[in-house]
Homo-oligomer: A and B are copies of this chain.
């Protein structure tokens, strides 16, 4: 099937939303944890976390426009400067999915969805206790995108993961941590390791002919 621009914008809104959300392929499944100055804890699912660089170690994520959705996550990040990124696991995708609910700022998704929070040392924002990979982040920049969204850039301050999930090369095994991916708005996929290929050096390219 071929859909051109005109057909895309004439289509039903929800159909377009689902299709366009599927286009990039599989997406990472993360929960972002924050805590307001007043001590309100917030947790929200994001499928747009993206690697930006390793030196400095930075991750980004996409934030919907102000007004379109409550932005408690971002309000807390702006108030305090800190947030956590926590990998979602197969066993509790349902709970994690429901953190996309529009709760009042006073109500914590940790309580409502029964996801246990964990404070580690003196880090201001709450981590997700069950999460196999927990990342402590510091806000770096909010960058305006042409469509009214923001791209939020943060610096990695700390990383916590199970010893057995990391190999000697520094690679995390997403099967060992029971990691998942998201397609579109609400479909969850499990992962199975296929293969690892070497870093490509120009003089080591195999002959594909």
Chain A interface (Cβ < 8 Å from any Cβ of B): 1-5, 8-9, 11-30, 47-60, 62, 85, 87, 90, 93-95, 97-98, 100-103, 112-114, 120, 133, 135, 140-141, 143, 145-149, 151, 153, 156-163, 166, 169-172, 174-175, 179-181, 183-202, 205-206, 208-209
Contacts and interface: CB of A to CB of B under 8 A. Distances in A.
A151 to B, nearest CB: 6
Identical subunits present: 2
A198 B186 CA distance: 7
A10 B91 CA distance: 35
A185 to B, nearest CB: 7
B194 A93 contact: yes
Given A23-B159, A52-B145, A62-B50, A208 B114 contact: yes
Contact of A205 (B51, B98, B140, B197): B98
